[in-house]
Amino acid sequence: MDAINKLANLSSLMELEPVEETGCPKMSAGAKVPPKKESINISQAVMPGGKRIRLLKTLLTSACERNCYYCPFRAGRDFRRATFTPDELAKTFINLHQSGIAEGIFLSSGIAGGSIRTQDRMIATAEILRNNLGYRGYLHLKLMPGVEHAQVERSMQLADRVSVNLEAPNMQRLERLAPRKTFIEELLQPLRWVEEYRRSQPGYLGWNGHWPSTTTQFVVGAAGETDLELLKTTEYLHRNLGLRRAYFSAFRPIPDTPLENLPAESPLREFRLYQASFLLRDYGFNLEDLSFDPSSNLPHDTDPKIAWAQTHLASQPVEINRADREVLLRIPGIGPQSVKAILTARRTKSIQNLEDLNRIGINSSRAAPFILLNGKRPTRQLSLW
């Protein structure tokens, strides 16, 4: 296989990894499906500052000696595998970068020859890119389960983002997905080291002037886990380990794996988990603020912020012209950017009606049932239908 075919093969296998993005992904109409034919996988990714870049997502190798029950790369599964050397991958990517096809790279790998050796090869690829080929663009490095402390440090010095896929919210659930992985030692510990390193060396900035952000991904719906379990772990990661983003990936069965007969998870569950995780991360919500059904899952039929507002704000609406930032953030239709717009607009004159809110970019129809404007409920135009 030549380098481009190999890249098409390896990058097409990354379709199940999430694209970097800052906002809540749109509700998809169905489960994610892998591409029908191999092609170089370039995604549109949104960077933390809002900039969009063309991101190459690829594996260093699709060979793997582990046997996670849900995974298409598990050992012994019959499909065409490919492997790059670090030098080969770095040079292939830099050619794409210099020709304007890819502006950034997200590098992951199957585990071949142990996690430590695999991470060494990932780091070697990053070092060739940064030190030999002068690459200054975006680099996301996956941390393999069970990496060493020094490898975490080195990865942080080279990357803009590092990530560990926790896959499940706790050890008991992980055993049902990946029985040879240990939740605390192999998966959570690298995330702890990342945060310890960021905190212990605030003065030393990474290659790009700041330390890399961290993300994780959960497989949703394959281990009997509840939304409460997933969000409890997510809240812990945001509060204690500086996690930038948790990704939720609705399970879909892969042929020739032990979970091939398990039904696919609803994309609506994935969507509600994203909504709830953003409330925890950006809106000042705690786990106790969220409503769960008797089986500890988020109701599918209600947006979790609207569910909270119906209980707490419907009979005690918020005065838009006086409420502080924290209270404004609780109103449906109002996010961190909208709060800034309200606070700025209030400095010059009070907000009189829903049109004033629309003018500063706020979805007033969602907010209207829960607000007061100068002491009065806003007049809403009823929909004709």
> Coil, strand or helix: which one is 191?
helix
Q: Which residues contact 284 (CB under 8 A, 6 or more apart)?
A: 326, 329, 330
Q: How far is the CB of 144 from ligand SF4 (least distance, A)?
A: 8
Of 219 and 320, which has the nearer Cβ to ligand SF4?
A: 219
Of 11, 73, 313, 364, which one interacts with ligand SF4 (CB under 6 A)?
73
DSSP string, 203-231: TS--TTSSPPEEEEEEEESSS---HHHHH
Of 59 and 354, which has the nearer Cβ to ligand SF4?
A: 59
Torsion of CA 221, 226, 228, 229, to 10 degrees: -90
Query: Of the listed pieces 62-70, 288-296, 300-308, 369-377, which binds ligand SF4 according to CB under 6 A?
Result: 62-70
Q: Which one, of 68, 137, 65, 71, lies nearest residue 107 by Cα?
A: 137
Query: Of the listed pieces 13-21, 63-71, 83-91, 354-362, which binds ligand SF4 according to CB under 6 A?
Result: 63-71
Query: Of the listed pieces 67-75, 236-244, 339-347, 368-376, which binds ligand SF4 according to CB under 6 A?
Result: 67-75
- Cα 355 to its chain centre, rounded Å, is 34
- The answer to the question of residue 237 lying near ligand SF4 (CB under 6 A) is no
Contact between 235 and 286 (Cβ < 8 Å)? yes
Q: How far is the CB of 118 from ligand SF4 (least distance, A)?
A: 9
- The answer to the question of residue 223 lying near ligand SF4 (CB under 6 A) is no
Q: Which one, of 148, 232, 135, 137, lies nearest residue 186 by Cα?
A: 148
CA–CA gap between residue 259 and residue 247 (Å, rounded): 21
DSSP string, 254-302: -TTSTTTTSPPPPHHHHHHHHHHHHHHHHS---GGGS---TTS---TTS
Of 159 and 166, which has the nearer Cβ to ligand SF4?
A: 166
Contact between 207 and 157 (Cβ < 8 Å)? yes
For residue 40, give the amino acid letter.
I
Measured at the alpha carbon of residue 233, what is the angle toward residues 277 and 309, in degrees to the nearest 5?
Answer: 35
- The answer to the question of residue 68 lying near ligand SF4 (CB under 6 A) is yes
Q: The tokens of 268 are what?
A: 């609506």
Q: How far is the CB of 59 from ligand SF4 (least distance, A)?
A: 8
Of 45 and 60, which has the nearer Cβ to ligand SF4?
A: 60
Total number of residues that touch ligand SF4 (CB under 6 A): 9
Q: How far is the CB of 186 from ligand SF4 (least distance, A)?
A: 10
Contact between 143 and 192 (Cβ < 8 Å)? no
Sheet holding 245-250, edge to edge: 42-46, 52-59, 104-108, 138-142, 161-163, 213-220, 245-250
Q: How far is the CB of 110 from ligand SF4 (least distance, A)?
A: 4
Of 14, 40, 105, 111, which one interacts with ligand SF4 (CB under 6 A)?
111
Q: How far is the CB of 81 from ligand SF4 (least distance, A)?
A: 11
- The answer to the question of residue 112 lying near ligand SF4 (CB under 6 A) is no
For residue 179, give the amino acid letter.
P
Report the DSSP beta bridge partners of residue 52: 46
> Coil, strand or helix: which one is 211?
coil
Q: How far is the CB of 63 from ligand SF4 (least distance, A)?
A: 9
- The answer to the question of residue 247 lying near ligand SF4 (CB under 6 A) is no
Of 144 and 159, which has the nearer Cβ to ligand SF4?
A: 144
- The answer to the question of residue 71 lying near ligand SF4 (CB under 6 A) is yes
User: Mask 165-204, x = binds ligand SF4 (CB under 6 A)?
Assistant: -------------x--------------------------
> Coil, strand or helix: which one is 89?
helix
Query: Of the listed pieces 30-38, 66-74, 131-139, 319-327, which binds ligand SF4 according to CB under 6 A?
Result: 66-74
Contact between 106 and 18 (Cβ < 8 Å)? no
Q: How far is the CB of 272 from ligand SF4 (least distance, A)?
A: 25
Of 86, 110, 317, 378, which one interacts with ligand SF4 (CB under 6 A)?
110
Contact between 234 and 277 (Cβ < 8 Å)? yes
- The answer to the question of residue 252 lying near ligand SF4 (CB under 6 A) is no
Of 10, 56, 64, 357, which one interacts with ligand SF4 (CB under 6 A)?
64
Q: Which residue ranges make up the site for ligand SF4 (CB under 6 A)?
A: 64, 66, 68, 71, 73-74, 110-111, 178
